[in-house]
Amino acid sequence: MTVRVERDKETGVAVVTLDRPEKHNSITLDMARELAAVWKGFRYEDEIRAIVVTGAGGRAFCTGIDRDAVGNIPQPSSPYTIDDPLLTIGPKANDLWKPVIAAVEGMACGGAFYLLGEAEFLVAGEDATFFDPHTTYGMVSAFETIHMAQRMPYGEIARMALMGSAERVSARRAYETGLVSELTPAGGALEAALRAAAVVAAHPTEAVQGTVRALWSVTEASRTPALAHAPHLVALGNLPPERQAALFTRRGAGFRTR
């Protein structure tokens, strides 16, 4: 199992941990299926009223899909459809309307935004960094930017996506621009997220879930049609897999943090 779940029935809080620290908690196909099953399962656990999602090891929350393990996923020839294993790794994609708080330490990039974009709010340690390497390697950042555009100012998400791997957004900058709601000392994000989750879980369940649903009804008006365009943009704009691989091989990991 690459997704670890711990439940505290006294507080009503569960912790979902991406558990591949040796691979920066990058996501395999099995892990994507595990995450979807976990979120769906929580719909039937009335004793769990709030959830924290985090990554094991402290070096990364998640670095997106594990290209070494997954390889190139065969795609339909039509530009109007796409097979993306990350589409259902988030709670809202699985019709879960219990509040989810993300606790971020270390790197969060690329496909991590499918998860972060479906959390109610983020808590981050001071060592956290956020970046999106898609454009660097000839890939369109569509799903990722749409998810994050719901919680970042336009100029910030545009800069992060267009700069690619050349620049990382520091936890401090993420806090200043509203992506992160609470900044903690390094290593303290999970504890702070658990405190917040316990407060939320103590409130009447119907009121909490109704509030979550109300908040998401606002974003859905723009998010749903935008996501409908994403497959076409990816299919039309991505370089062929062999050219992407060449860029991965050729380009270094140099970057600056702001």
What average pLDDT score do residues 28-41 get?
96
Structure confidence by residue, pLDDT tens digits, 116-134: 999 999 999 999 999 999 9
> Among the listed ranges 28-42, 74-88, 162-176, 199-213, which one has the minimum average pLDDT value?
74-88
**Partner residues linked to 55 by β-bridges:** 18
Phi, psi of 36 (to 5 degrees): -60, -45
* Greater pLDDT, 254 or 203: 203
Is pLDDT of 201 > 90? yes
* Greater pLDDT, 78 or 160: 160
Local structure of 136: helix, strand or coil: helix
C-alpha distances (whole Å) from 26 to each of 110, 172, 173 are 10, 24, 24
DSSP codes joined into one string, 76-130: -SSTT----TTTT-STGGGT--S-EEEEE-SEEETTHHHHHTTSSEEEEETT-EE
Local structure of 182: helix, strand or coil: strand
Q: How confident is the model at residue 70 (pLDDT cuts 50, 70, 90)?
A: low
Q: What is the pLDDT of residue 89?
A: 96
For the domain made up of 1-73+83-186+204-258, the CATH class stated in words is alpha beta
Q: What is the pLDDT of residue 232?
A: 79
Q: How confident is the model at residue 4 (pLDDT cuts 50, 70, 90)?
A: very high
Q: What is the DSSP letter of 17?
A: E
